[in-house]
Structure formats: structure tokens, C-alpha cells
Copies of this chain bind each other. A is one copy, B any other.
Amino acid sequence: MIIVLKPDITKEEIEHLTEKIKAWGLTPVVSKGIERSIVGVIGEEDVLRSQPLEAFPGVEKVIPILAPYKLVSREFKSENTVIDIKGISIGGKRIVNMAGPCSIESYDQLKGIAEHVKISGAQVLRGGAFKPRTSPYSFQGLGEEGLKMLREIADNLDMAVITEIMDPRDLGLLEKYTDIIQVGARNMQNFTLLKEVGQSKKPVLLKRGISATVKELLMAAEYILAGGNFQVMLCERGIRTFETATRFTLDINAISVIKQKSHLPVIVDPSHSTGKWNLVAPAAAAAIAAGADGLITEVHTSPEDAFSDGEQSLLPDRYSKMIDLIGSVAKAVGREI
């Protein structure tokens, strides 16, 4: 931690500051520059982090040196985390494909879609039973009934299952039916929920909030690891910017940045990060080229009848072509599907 002092700081203020730092068990090192003096602090940066140093008189700004996350960091664990779900490896050489409808609408709808994506090569079936909807008047999901369909259909096709949790009280219920618990973008900093899934034995896919920095995403993941659950995947799903031509802006740089800073697998959602079905395949190809470990894609047999996200859902044959495309790209960058 570096503390930059104001040019007009008094001797007493410097003393007051350094005394406090010593009282916290740390060592302050004052160095005088030509225009500014600074205080370097030696010791556990965490101790300082929780102190509002900018509230001290004479302090201009405080500059942390270390990242605030630990368990999720590459420094804590240098090799990539590989998560195994029923024989599907996530984070290794092979790209994982998760696909399915946005919402589970009916048994037949889900079954039809699941069969298609399975044939195309998807290993994990997605489908929402509890839906976070902007409007209280929109379809809110089928609940447990939907979860049962999801499990049964996936089992019949020998697929794994991913579905979203919205309520901490539903954890037990979800654990009964799903293989991966998804925490949605809107809940990335729902710390109650993060602590809850941190207690689970199920792998978690944590979606980046639409205006969360990579650092905040890693801190949110840290909540889950700190709770004891190390099986976490991070999902880039587009961030909110000024651009309105697409629903969100896929932050393609984030993939490499996360890979540098963390050992956790990175999944990309090309459906939400574009918002339009005809932009999904190029976004998916770009994600794989940039180093993503997998994709989670919305597919629907009849997008125009979808209860949600129809405009960004791929028809099965388009999904199949997308898989071919990313298969080639994966090979080009030394991966496989």
C-alpha cells in the first residue's frame, strides 16, 4: 500500500498517520520526493485495506499494490483449475458446450431442443426454471416442475445440467436436480447467494455483472471459494456500454485478463453478449480464438414462440453450424471440441 501525502501535510499529521500504521502492526516508510512525499507500508496489505486511509488529514490518495483476491488468483494456484462433471472436463484442452433454451417452457419443448443440441455436440443442457425478469408481469419460470423435466431429459440423453439459482432458500432444491448451479449476472454481488452456494458441493458458474469489473468478478468468486467451494467457472456474458447496436458488448479482452489473473475456467455466453441470433456465431468463434474454455448458448426450435430471449436464440441447424465453426477455430488455437 502506498499513501500519497498532500504537499501541505504537517509534521503532526504525518506523525499521526505513521503512529496509526504502527498501531496496526505494520511498518511505515516515509520517503520524501520533490513535489510529494509518500508513505510505503510494509506488512499485510489486508490489514490496511479495511482502513479508510483517505479520511486521514493530509492524505491525498491511497494506492493498493496487491490484488484483494487470494484463493482465485494465479499466485495462489498456478495451474488451471479443471472441473470434472460426470466425465466432462471443464478448463482442460477440450472446449465444453452448454446449450438449451433460455426458459424451460414445457417437456416437449425442452426435449426437442435437448435432442438437437446433443446431436450437435453439446455436453451440458441449460434451461431456466426460475427466471430473473425485468418485468414482474413476464413469465417467471416453471419452478420445480421445470427442474424435474430438465433432469429427466438430460439423464435420458446422458447430458449434464446447468440451471440458475435466484433464491438462497432454493439451494437444497436445486442441488437435487442440477449438476452446475448458475449465479446470474444480476446476482453477481448478491452476497447472501454467493455465501450460500459457497457451502454447496456442486460446481458453480458465476456470471459477470453487466457493469462489474474483472476485479469485482474475481472478488465475487472469492466469496464462493472462501466458503469452501473451489469448483467455480467464470462467465463473460457482455457488459453494458454506450453502444446500442447490440444488447451488450462482449468484453473479449476479459478472457485473457481473467486467465492471467486467475486459475478458474472461463465460459462465454455469446447469446446474451450480443442479443441477436445473427451475431452469435462470430462472437462464439472469437471467444474460442481468445482462449475461452467453453460456451453457453441459447437454442430454440421455434424462437418466435420462445417465452424469453427468442431474438437471440439459434435454430438447431444454425447451432450445429456454429459448433462446426468453433471446432475449426478450436483446432487453430490448439484446443478441441
Cβ-defined contact, B282 with A135, below 8 A: no
Most B-side CB within 10 Å, residue of A34, A192, A216: A192
Cβ-defined contact, B253 with A246, below 8 A: yes
Q: How many copies does the complex hold?
A: 4
Cβ-defined contact, B252 with A243, below 8 A: no
List residues of A (306-322) whose CB comes within 8 Å of B's CBs: 306-311, 313
Q: How far is the CA of A166 from the CA of B31 in the complex (A)?
A: 42
Find A252's partner among B134, B250, B278 (CB 8 Å cutoff): B250
Cβ-defined contact, B333 with A253, below 8 A: no
Cβ-defined contact, B4 with A65, below 8 A: yes
Cβ-defined contact, B256 with A279, below 8 A: yes
A287, closest chain B residue (CB): B286
Cβ-defined contact, A253 with B273, below 8 A: yes
Distance in angstroms from A1 CB to nearest chain B CB is 9
A138 at the interface (CB under 8 A from B): yes
List residues of A (155-205) whose CB comes within 8 Å of B's CBs: 166-169, 186-187, 189-192, 195
Cβ-defined contact, A239 with B243, below 8 A: yes
Note all chain B residues with C-beta closer than 8 A to A195.
Answer: 136
Known: A226-B136, A286-B286. A40 touches B42 (CB 8 A): no
List residues of A (266-317) whose CB comes within 8 Å of B's CBs: 273-274, 276-279, 282-283, 285-291, 303-304, 306-311, 313
Q: How far is the CA of A255 from the CA of B245 in the complex (A)?
A: 11
Cβ-defined contact, A245 with B257, below 8 A: yes
Note all chain B residues with C-beta closer than 8 A to A52.
Answer: 303-304, 306, 308-311, 313
Q: How far is the CA of A257 from the CA of B325 in the complex (A)?
A: 19
Interface flags for A209-247 (1: CB within 8 Å of B; 0: not) read: 111011110010011001100000000000111111110
Cβ-defined contact, B215 with A245, below 8 A: yes
Note all chain B residues with C-beta closer than 8 A to A121.
Answer: none
A251 at the interface (CB under 8 A from B): yes
A66, closest chain B residue (CB): B35
Find A279's partner among B168, B253, B278 (CB 8 Å cutoff): B253
Note all chain B residues with C-beta closer than 8 A to A286.
Answer: 252, 286-287, 289-290
Cβ-defined contact, B279 with A257, below 8 A: yes
Note all chain B residues with C-beta closer than 8 A to A69.
Answer: 135
List residues of A (25-44) whose CB comes within 8 Å of B's CBs: 29, 31, 33-36, 38, 40, 42-44
Note all chain B residues with C-beta closer than 8 A to A255.
Answer: 282
Cβ-defined contact, B241 with A242, below 8 A: yes
Note all chain B residues with C-beta closer than 8 A to A215.
Answer: 245
Find A277's partner among B55, B216, B222, B257 (CB 8 Å cutoff): B55
Find A278's partner among B166, B260, B333 (CB 8 Å cutoff): B260
Find A222's partner among B40, B136, B244, B303 (CB 8 Å cutoff): B136
- 24 chain-A/chain-B pairs, Cβ below 8 angstroms: A31-B40, A34-B42, A50-B138, A50-B308, A53-B304, A55-B303, A55-B304, A63-B63, A69-B135, A166-B191, A213-B243, A214-B245, A239-B243, A241-B241, A242-B242, A243-B251, A243-B253, A244-B244, A249-B251, A253-B274, A282-B291, A283-B290, A289-B289, A331-B332
